[in-house]
Amino acid sequence: MAQLHPMKLTEVLAERGLSLESQANGEAPKEIQDREIKKEPTPRANYLRNIYFDTLSSLDVQESYWYTRAATEHDGEVPIMRRAYGLKSVFQHLDTPIWPHELLVGAKAGFYRGSAPLPWLTESFFMDKDSDLYKAALATGAESSAEVSHFGAGGGNVTKSFGNVVSVGGKYGVRREIVPAMHRLAYAWAGKSVEDVGRKYEQMVPEYKIKENIMKSVVSNFDSGFTIPQGREVMNYYYVLEYGFDGLIDFCEKRAGEVAGEAGGDGISGMDRLYYYKSMAELCRGLSAWFDNYGREADRLLTCTEDETSRAELSEISERMHRIAHEKPKTFKDALQAIYLLHLAELNEDAMSGLSPGRIGQVLYPYFEQDIEAGRLTEAEAEEWNELYRVKMTCIDAFACTGVVGGVLSGNTFNNVCIGGLDREGKSAANRLEMLILEAGIKCQTTQPTLSLLYDEATPEEFLLKCMECVKTGAGYPAIMNNRIGMEFIQNQYQHEGMTVRESRAWSVGGCLETSPGTWMPLHHGGKLYWIPGGSGQPTSVGVHFLNNPKILELTLNNGFDKRTGLQVFEPHNRTFDTFDDLVDQYKKYYEKSVEVLNKCMNIQHDVWRKFTPSMVNSLLKPNCLERGLGIAQKGYRYNATFNIECCGMCNQINSFAAIKKLVYDDHKYTLDQLKDALDHNFGYKTSKEVGSESLKDQEKRDDDDGRYDEIHADCLRAPKYGNDEPYVDDMLYDWEHWFCEDMPHKFESLYAEPLYVCQMSVSTHGPEGAVTAATADGRLEGTTFADASMSAYPGTDTHGQYALFESATGWDHSMSQNSQMNLKIHPSATKGVEGSRKLLDLTRAYMRKGGFHIQYNIVDSRVLKKAQAHPENYRTLLIRVAGFTQYWVEIGKPIQDEVIARTEYESI
Amino acid sequence: MCKHSDCANYIPIDVAKGICHANGDITVQIDTPTCPKFTPGFKCKFCSHYQAGEQNMGTCTGFEDKFWAFADNGAKNCEKFERGAAEKVEA
């Protein structure tokens, strides 16, 4: 009988006994099952979280205005002083709203979930679309990734304009009445922004044309120098906790006098110390004023508030904010308030994602311990403050272009709090406050901060089981990172900068899973000395952003030509691949060329950034800037070897390698040309553009398909797949990892003349990067989403259970890489009860002991996700783990939603 | 015509709404009529140093150097903010 409708991929696969909604280790129960553990936040946290649920992502241009005004007034100043005056003015003038029932105060911009354009960094993407600047940005490929990126239509995303609200970039809302001011501010920086000046100079790289083609064809998806130049690093709050702002201002002014006119034996950066200390003193004055203004706002609200409880709370806020505007924090509440505002301060100086608070349970422990002992604080209060902190952190938005915020971040900002690990002496660092942080994460489920457990064999069982309890709520956190592997990577990468074993124990995760160096600092509190950990490295995930591994294979097969855009991306190789090794050799040549060109261009962008708009807040807070009198631009940080090369789609790349080798070179069933022909014709399916969706399950056969590619497609799908403990394909992965981690990156150096390293995680890039990539030899169709992460299997292809997947994933040394990433979806029935928690812990432990770096879980019934997709209005609070981050289901684009649904669901452990 | 977001009792949530502190912390939509408790808030357009121009922008004369400004800029923490004449405010 003739088909009445085009056959869907799902139907074709079903005929072949394959499924996009694969279950492994059994079958799901007939009835849909909810997650097992459900607890409620405190009424106060619940009230404030409910405001968030109904809040739109909103743009505020106060910061843009005050920075621009001050920078204009100080035009001609030494650049770092000009920047300091700009930021000081921002912090002095920003609105300081306090919302009802808040105890922990602060906001990034003047809204509950606000952010601000930073036109001195980049301005083209929020220009009106008719502007020359916007058109120029399009011509460079800077917006190519945005064209294939998607935001979720629900939640707080302002995807369309309405009333007096204008949608910007498909996510943010801005009041119509301030749009002219926003455009005026953008034009004020035209030709002067990091984006514009960096673009001018990167064009002087002889192979710049290749870089432009790489961006247009989305072999790489964004420029790191002006989109999110900082982040993926760990904050260090020590100096403010130890000295307070007045102490820091005094120190900087004194040091400025000491170093003025002194080269200090260094004819390059020694003289910079004067400007450094003067700029830091100005910055501290701005920050102090910002803290103080919250006290003033509390004072103002006191004059118009009658409720006695509210008045008492406002009085407490007022006293605290006026005091910590000058002095070092005295209590747990003081310290949490201070580090929260410092976190926002850093976020306000750059467009940023992945700025992690780090191991704050250990940073705040001295205050917690002494407050509890003195009866100043109860555990219930500490837990509530952690819940309030969760709500506050979830309100953080980043304003960057659509390709980054949508295509990479899925709207998430990646503020990662780490727990566990080791202390300075090598003992378990897990503590009672971290148990309360976990409890707050269970009760007050929010996207931020996400939690990461630094798993160590020394971590107590009780602590680990508490982590499993938290995982079982379905929030996706804590992710579990291998402490030993993290330390080994840190030691390898930073030993030439003085890294020791002891110091490596202070590491933490910046962003979703970027291993970042840390330092122990001596905090004096209440007459005791505590060694607290904090970040001490530069942004650890800048440089070459998300190379599209399958796309480079597509270009290798097509002589460097991209059929989607019609661009000759790389110089034609004109090779016939007589052997599989020839093919891989050329693949590596194109790969290396991509890294070479992008690294040069990114070095220029970041150099312009460090000259024009270097980090100020981080250059104040991170060791050893204050001691050295040097900021990030002069390598004042203790660790500077931090630039990386990120990749995406490795599983599809390796599976494609395996299919090509098997079908073409080993079995000789097809010629390479026959395979290429099948890929060119998308195995007889419509293109994702024709279907109007990049989701796997929406793909359908061409109306005129005669079935000529059915057999080759079936063979491609049946070729060996990663994740099943099959040496044929796994060995290819190990060979690749060795080249990728060891042989290739060390050929390149960052602008700081430091060696690069690699980073293996997908975030959300497997959506847009899949969207631009033709069909692949593993049977994946054109335009559809890649496998997530780096160690996850392609949905439905891991058919031999979790332990086989672990075998496949751990045959290489994970400490060669900044990270690796493994996501597992498990049905709630498999982890039920105490026994289920222990099984989950055993599973985790097995992966860690085999040398896996990272694993995270989605404990969810996939049918719930399908219902949520059909009726998003009923699932505003549903959380899901994507790839290194937890996000509200409704705020994720459909291709990624479909990919999460399609992931293999394990029915038992 | 003034909006809820122009009121001193208004605590902004987002670009569409906020909380009215004068009426028991209820949620109000910015673009709905204000109430009798409306009190001019802290925005450049309510400052005596603001000279209105076109497209909701004008000039700030409050500091040593004049600079352009925009009417709806928050000025609660501006050291030069001085409330302008009452007749400028149309509730």
DSSP codes, A391-456: HHHHT------HHHHTTTTTT----EEEEE-B-TTSSB---HHHHHHHHHHHHS--SSSEEEEEE-
- Is pLDDT above 60 for A789? yes
Reported as a single tens digit per residue, the pLDDT across A642-663 is 999 999 999 999 999 999 999 9
pLDDT on residue A2: 46
Reported as a single tens digit per residue, the pLDDT across A578-607 is 999 999 999 999 999 999 999 999 999 999
Q: CB of B52 within 8 Å of any CB in chain A?
A: no
| Closest A-chain CA to B30 | A164
- Is pLDDT above 90 for A155? no
A301 CB neighbours in chain B (<8 A) are: 21
Please tell me which of the candidates A55, A61, A177 has its beta carbon nearest to residue B14.
A55
What is the rounded average pLDDT of the residues A791-797?
A: 93
- Is pLDDT above 50 for A192? yes
- Is pLDDT above 90 for A472? yes
- Considering chain A, what percentage of its residues have pLDDT values greater than 90? 82
Rounded to the nearest angstrom, the gap between the alpha carbon of residue A717 and the centroid of all alpha carbons in its chain is: 32
- Is pLDDT above 90 for A893? no
Contact A293 B77 (CB under 8 A): yes
- Is pLDDT above 50 for A858? yes
- Is pLDDT above 60 for B91? no
**E runs forming strands in A491-535:** 508-510, 514-516, 518-525, 528-535
Q: Is the peptide bond before A823 cis (omega within 30 degrees of 0)?
A: no
Q: How many CB pairs under 8 A join A and B?
A: 98
Question: From CA A780, how far away is CA A766, in angstroms rounded?
Answer: 13
Average pLDDT, chain B: 93
- Is pLDDT above 80 for A740? yes
Pairing of strands B67-70, A230-234: unpaired
Question: From CA A368, how far away is CA A363, in angstroms rounded?
Answer: 10
Pairing of strands B26-29, B17-20: antiparallel
Lowest mean pLDDT among A886-895, B27-36, B43-52: A886-895
What is the rounded average pLDDT of the residues A236-255?
A: 98
Reported as a single tens digit per residue, the pLDDT across B51-76 is 999 999 999 999 999 999 999 999 99
Q: Looking at the DSSP assignment, which residues form a beta bridge with residue A353?
A: A231
Count other C-beta atoms under 10 Å from residue A162's C-beta: 13
| Closest B-chain CA to A72 | B67
Distance from CA of B2 to the nearest CA of A (A): 12
Question: From CA A849, how far away is CA A22, in angstroms rounded?
Answer: 27
Q: Is the peptide bond before A329 cis (omega within 30 degrees of 0)?
A: no
B30 CB neighbours in chain A (<8 A) are: 164, 175
**Residue B18 near residue B4, CB atoms below 8 Å:** yes
Instruction: Name the CA dihedral angle for A835, A840, A841, A844, rounded to a multiple of 10 degrees.
Output: 160
**Residue A239 near residue A248, CB atoms below 8 Å:** yes
Reported as a single tens digit per residue, the pLDDT across A691-724 is 988 777 789 999 999 999 999 999 999 999 999 9
Provide the annotated active-site residues of A: 512, 514
What is the enclosing helix (H) or strand (E) of A644?
Answer: strand A644-648
- Is pLDDT above 70 for B85? no
Contact B15 A158 (CB under 8 A): yes
Question: From CA B66, how far away is CA B16, in angstroms rounded?
Answer: 32
Rounded to the nearest angstrom, the gap between the alpha carbon of residue A658 and the centroid of all alpha carbons in its chain is: 30
CB proximity list for A323: less than 8 A, separation 6 or greater:
A330, A334
- Domains in chain B (CATH in brackets) are 1-35 (2.20.70), 44-79 (2.20.70)
In degrees, rounded to 5, the angle at the alpha carbon of residue A431 between the alpha carbons of residues A47 and A466 is: 65
| Closest B-chain CA to A156 | B14
Question: From CA A461, how far away is CA A453, in angstroms rounded?
Answer: 13
Question: From CA A52, how far away is CA A39, in angstroms rounded?
Answer: 19
Measured over the CA atoms of residue A92, residue A619, residue A644 and residue A605, the dihedral's sign is positive
Sheet arrangement for strand A905-906: A23-24, A905-906, A823-826, A854-859, A479-482, A450-455, A416-420
What's the DSSP call for residue A348? Answer: T
pLDDT band at A36 (very low <50, low <70, confident <90, very high): confident
CA distances from A421 to A429, A448, A453, A456, A822 (A): 6, 20, 7, 6, 20
CB proximity list for A714: less than 8 A, separation 6 or greater:
A16
**Residue A453 near residue A479, CB atoms below 8 Å:** yes
What is the rounded average pLDDT of the residues A446-457?
A: 97
Here the tokens at position A599 are 């690294």
Contact B74 A184 (CB under 8 A): no
- Is pLDDT above 80 for A617? yes
Helices (H), A74-220: 79-93, 132-139, 179-188, 194-202, 208-216
Please tell me which of the candidates B13, B31, B70 has its beta carbon nearest to residue A112.
B13
Distance from CA of A72 to the nearest CA of B (A): 9
A58 CB neighbours in chain B (<8 A) are: 14-15
pLDDT on residue A130: 64
b/e per residue A500-524 (b: at least 16 CB within 10 A): eeebbbbbbbbbbbbbbbbbbbebe
- Put simply, the chain A residues between 135 and 154 with a CB less than 8 A from any chain B CB are none
What is the rounded average pLDDT of the residues A182-211?
A: 96
Contact B68 A100 (CB under 8 A): no
- Is pLDDT above 80 for A112? yes
pLDDT on residue A763: 87
Nearest to A823 by CA among A767, A765, A882: A882
pLDDT on residue A441: 97
Nearest to B31 by CA among A162, A216, A86: A162
pLDDT band at A171 (very low <50, low <70, confident <90, very high): confident
- Is pLDDT above 80 for A282? yes
CA distances from B53 to A404, A583, A643 (A): 36, 65, 47
Here the tokens at position A425 are 């002496």
pLDDT band at A148 (very low <50, low <70, confident <90, very high): low
A288 vs A399 pLDDT, higher one: A288
Lowest mean pLDDT among A78-92, A155-169, A275-289, B51-65: A155-169
pLDDT on residue A832: 93
How buried is residue A376: exposed, middle or buried, by Cβ count under 10 Å (0-12/13-18/19+)?
A: middle
Here the tokens at position B39 are 């009190």
Length of chain A: 909
In degrees, rounded to 5, the angle at the alpha carbon of residue A316 between the alpha carbons of residues A310 and A320 is: 145
What is the rounded average pLDDT of the residues A862-870?
A: 92
Here the tokens at position A903 are 């992931």
Contact B70 A96 (CB under 8 A): no
Nearest to A350 by CA among A246, A517, A188, A233: A233
pLDDT band at A454 (very low <50, low <70, confident <90, very high): very high
Count other C-beta atoms under 10 Å from residue A34's C-beta: 10
B12 CB neighbours in chain A (<8 A) are: 95, 97, 110-112
Q: Coil, strand, or helix at residue A692?
A: coil
Domain boundaries, chain A: 57-89+99-206
pLDDT band at A26 (very low <50, low <70, confident <90, very high): confident
pLDDT on residue A412: 81
What is the enclosing helix (H) or strand (E) of A707?
Answer: none
Question: From CA B22, how far away is CA A315, in angstroms rounded?
Answer: 19
Q: Looking at the DSSP assignment, which residues form a beta bridge with residue A173?
A: A58, A167
Q: CB of B1 within 8 Å of any CB in chain A?
A: no
Please tell me which of the candidates B16, B69, B76 has its beta carbon nearest to residue A56.
B16
What is the rounded average pLDDT of the residues B19-41?
A: 96
pLDDT on residue A692: 84
pLDDT band at A1 (very low <50, low <70, confident <90, very high): very low
Average pLDDT, chain A: 94
| Closest B-chain CA to A57 | B14
Q: Coil, strand, or helix at residue A343?
A: helix
- Is pLDDT above 90 for A125? no
What is the rounded average pLDDT of the residues A43-52?
A: 97
Sheet arrangement for strand A543-548: A543-548, A644-648, A757-760
Nearest to A474 by CA among A887, A46, A835: A887
CB proximity list for A309: less than 8 A, separation 6 or greater:
none
**Residue A640 near residue A233, CB atoms below 8 Å:** no
**Residue A662 near residue A728, CB atoms below 8 Å:** yes
pLDDT on residue A720: 98
Q: Provide the residue type at A572 as one letter.
A: P
Q: Which of B77, B78, B79, B80 best tests the A interface by mutation, with the highest count of A CBs <10 A?
A: B77
CA distances from A545 to A225, A416, A761, A808, A838 (A): 10, 20, 11, 26, 38
Owner of token pair 């700081």: A752
B11 CB neighbours in chain A (<8 A) are: 97-100
Q: Looking at the DSSP assignment, which residues form a beta bridge with residue A758?
A: A645
Q: Coil, strand, or helix at residue A849?
A: helix
